[in-house]
């Protein structure tokens, strides 16, 4: 199954071939900063399961210098978070909020729960891990 995604302004679009390798809500400080929310909802796929369909040149990547592996990408026009290849090259991280189609699955866990914001909602019925 293929799901499509795009940025807010529509300048950038992509396709992802399911299934996801993982789909999590991450509560780490870095994901909170890049999402502007209590957590990020990120899925991951192998690089061969991902392809840009429009506007790849509008994607800006930021690698956090002090981090061993943290990066983010966004649309240079509207600022929407966008998928990015991990530094290892083994996965493409997909910000779930950019998906235009329903992938038919939901995040299956909260990660970095111990570093969550004090004001965040309870974990509900999802398992937590650090």
Tokens of 7: 């940025």
The per-residue pLDDT for range 63-87, each reduced to its tens digit, is 998 888 889 999 999 999 999 999 9
Alpha carbon distance 126, 101 (integer Å): 23
Predicted TM-score (pTM) of the model is 0.88
pLDDT at 11: 98
Higher pLDDT, 110 or 44: 44
pLDDT at 113: 84
Domain count, the chain: 1
Tokens of 78: 């509207």
CATH number at residue 56: 2.170.150.70
User: What backbone phi and psi angles, to 5 degrees, belong to 96?
Assistant: -60, -30
Tokens of 129: 């891990």
Domain of 91 in residue numbering reads as 2-129
The per-residue pLDDT for range 18-54, each reduced to its tens digit, is 999 999 999 888 888 888 888 899 999 999 999 999 9
Q: How far is CA 67 from the centre of its chain?
A: 17
């Amino acid at each position: 199954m293929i799901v499509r995604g795009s940025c807010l302004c529509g300048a950038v679009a992509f396709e992802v071939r399911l299934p996801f390798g993982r789909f999590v809500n991450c509560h780490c400080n870095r994901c909170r900063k890049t999402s502007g929310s209590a957590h990020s909802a990120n899925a991951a796929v192998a690089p061969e399961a991902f392809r840009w369909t429009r506007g790849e040149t509008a994607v800006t990547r930021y690698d956090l210098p002090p981090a061993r592996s943290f990066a983010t990408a966004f649309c240079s026009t509207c600022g929407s978070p966008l998928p990015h290849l991990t530094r290892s090259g083994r996965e493409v991280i997909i910000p779930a909020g950019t998906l235009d189609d329903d992938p038919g699955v939901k995040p299956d866990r909260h990660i970095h729960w111990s570093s969550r914001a004090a004001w965040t909602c309870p974990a509900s019925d999802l398992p937590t891990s650090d």
